[in-house]
């Protein structure tokens, strides 16, 4: 039926049905325009004009912002059940698309990898060294050069082995610190954060600062990182309304720039110290650090000092908060399941023995512990949405149009808990990674499991993260038994921020397991 025929039919309905009331005529007009709109949409679809994915309606100018929950990983997962695995939300003037299936993740991270190879950068990140590190730099030659340096000088097998002395020292220091607090309550998330920070800063400039100067810089650095993480997790109106970014209404950029000045003082102290040193000044005896390599590149003009500082910051933020959060979640699940703790400890005991401390050479043999870590990262991924992508051009995903510069979020939290993918997904079951799912690794080769992402912008620090996580957890579980204070119920609720943290910190009491007290000293 043509539009004119529909129109004539609608005009005849009031007389045919005997309705002459104004409200009836108004209803007919509404129906008429609804049909016209539907036919236009149908015609547009037939002409190949793809539409945006479906999604919840918002308010004029505000979009869906007034309805956002503080725990958006839960909220977006519920909305996905209503609108489907790919949906659109307007957050202020920012168009956001959320996807939540492995097939859609594959379209973004593999099939259209180059198009989605840049990240959606928040204003707070641009305030720190112009976002010119590995994490936030747009895809292109500059990013490729930085990543190449990062992988070659920090993540290669040769570099990882060179830095093993720092990891060993800091993990053993952690064991000693816990032993000195036997019988007292320990905040395991905080312990893991300090240990990870000590490892990272040792790798960055461990051969440069010593004694009290090293401790003082470490304390200052930790304060700066805490403030950066807090600001990164703060909703910023400048990100939702780009036209208002220059006004910095909430002062987020102003506060970040203050921290940037603070960081400069810390970095300049370390860099100046290294510039004064030569290779015969004792650095070789303790092990090479990243600063030693990067200063050589700077002197040759292959790297700027700003790039060096931005890279330092990337390494620290990427290697501390995510690592400590994963350690805390893993220990939470292990303590909740005493049978799993016993099984992990028996495996470590068989490989290491109670007359020795855990060393990195033992780690490849700890298959069950590896499965426990993988299962913890499935249920509690540190980055529930990874780092949001931004297409460099308009692209089709799932049969829908994704415009250029859209904020694209991969709901990894939902994928990891999807009952169509995982058997009893809410159950903590490490054995699943020893059976049919044992082939899963952290490299993003299977889009059902993406704790570190996939594609060109996959986390570059995976080799170091794997070693740190396994080393820290194996040492804590081999050297000590753990239990929560009497009468305490373990809380599994989480809170959304830069990473997915526990809402309530894990507090536990250690008991020594090793055969000789001397091993702890």
* Sheet order of strands, 94-99 included: 86-91, 94-99, 407-410, 389-390, 118-119
Q: Which two tokens stand for residue 100?
A: 């939540």
Give residue 213's pLDDT.
Answer: 77
Give residue 75's pLDDT.
Answer: 97
How far apart (Å, rounded) are the C-alpha atoms in residues 415 and 385?
A: 10
Identify the burial level of 18 via C-beta atoms within 10 angstroms of its C-beta, where 0-12 means exposed, 13-18 middle and 19 or more buried.
Answer: exposed
What's the predicted TM-score (pTM) here?
Answer: 0.88
Least confident of 165-174, 293-302, 459-468: 293-302
Q: Which two tokens stand for residue 312?
A: 């330092």
Q: Is 12 a residue whose pLDDT tops 60?
A: no
pLDDT band for 288, please (50, 70, 90 cuts): low
pLDDT band for 463, please (50, 70, 90 cuts): very high
Give residue 280's pLDDT.
Answer: 47
Q: Which of 452, 436, 319, 321 is nearest to 378 (CA)?
A: 452
pLDDT band for 240, please (50, 70, 90 cuts): very high
Give pLDDT tens digits for 383-426: 999 999 999 999 999 999 999 999 999 999 999 999 999 999 99
pLDDT band for 273, please (50, 70, 90 cuts): confident
Q: Is pLDDT larger for residue 107 or for residue 295?
A: 107
Give residue 207's pLDDT.
Answer: 65
């Amino acid at each position: 039926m043509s539009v004119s025929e529909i129109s004539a039919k609608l005009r005849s309905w009031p007389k045919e049905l005997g309705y002459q009331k104004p409200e009836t005529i108004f209803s007919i007009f509404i129906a008429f325009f609804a049909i016209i709109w539907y036919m236009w949409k149908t015609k547009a679809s037939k002409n190949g004009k793809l539409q945006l994915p479906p999604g919840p309606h918002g308010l004029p100018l505000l979009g869906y912002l007034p309805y956002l929950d503080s725990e958006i990983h839960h909220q977006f997962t519920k909305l996905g059940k209503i609108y489907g695995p790919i949906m659109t939300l307007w957050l202020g003037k920012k168009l956001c698309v959320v996807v939540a299936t492995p097939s859609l993740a594959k379209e973004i991270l593999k099939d259209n990898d180059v198009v989605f190879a840049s990240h959606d950068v928040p204003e707070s990140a641009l305030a720190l060294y112009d976002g010119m590190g590995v994490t936030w730099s747009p895809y292109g030659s500059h990013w490729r050069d930085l990543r190449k340096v990062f992988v070659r000088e920090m993540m290669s097998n040769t570099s990882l082995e060179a830095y093993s002395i720092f990891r060993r020292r800091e993990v053993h220091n952690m064991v000693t610190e816990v032993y000195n607090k036997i019988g007292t309550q320990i905040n395991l998330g905080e312990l893991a954060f300090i240990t990870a920070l000590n490892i990272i800063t040792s790798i960055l400039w461990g051969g440069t600062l010593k004694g009290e100067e090293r401790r003082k810089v470490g304390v200052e650095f930790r304060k700066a990182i805490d403030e950066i993480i807090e600001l990164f997790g703060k909703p910023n109106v400048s990100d939702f309304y780009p036209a208002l970014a220059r006004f910095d209404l909430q002062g987020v950029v102003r506060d970040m720039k203050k921290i940037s000045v603070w960081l400069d003082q810390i970095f300049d102290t370390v860099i100046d110290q290294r510039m004064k040193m030569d290779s015969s000044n004792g650095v070789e005896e303790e092990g090479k650090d990243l600063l030693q390599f990067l200063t050589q590149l700077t002197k040759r003009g292959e790297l700027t000092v700003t790039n060096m500082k931005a890279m330092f910051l990337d390494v620290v933020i990427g290697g501390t908060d995510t690592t400590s959060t994963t350690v805390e979640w893993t220990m939470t699940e292990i303590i909740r399941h005493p049978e799993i703790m016993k099984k992990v400890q028996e495996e470590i005991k068989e490989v290491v023995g109670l007359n020795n401390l855990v060393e990195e050479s033992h780690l490849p043999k700890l298959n069950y512990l590896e499965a426990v870590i993988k299962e913890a990262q499935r249920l509690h991924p540190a980055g529930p949405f990874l780092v949001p992508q931004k297409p460099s051009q308009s692209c089709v995903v799932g049969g829908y149009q994704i415009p250029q510069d859209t904020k694209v979020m991969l709901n990894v939290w939902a994928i990891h808990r999807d009952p169509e993918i995982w058997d009893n997904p809410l159950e903590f079951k490490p054995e699943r990674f020893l059976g049919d799912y044992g082939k899963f690794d952290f490299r993003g080769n299977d889009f059902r499991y993406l704790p570190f992402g996939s594609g060109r912008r996959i986390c570059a620090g995976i080799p170091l993260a794997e070693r740190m996580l396994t080393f820290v957890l194996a040492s804590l579980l081999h050297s000590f038994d753990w239990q929560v204070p009497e009468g305490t119920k373990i809380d599994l609720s989480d809170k959304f921020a830069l990473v997915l943290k526990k809402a309530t910190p894990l507090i536990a009491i250690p008991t020594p397991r090793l055969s000789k007290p001397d091993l702890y000293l």
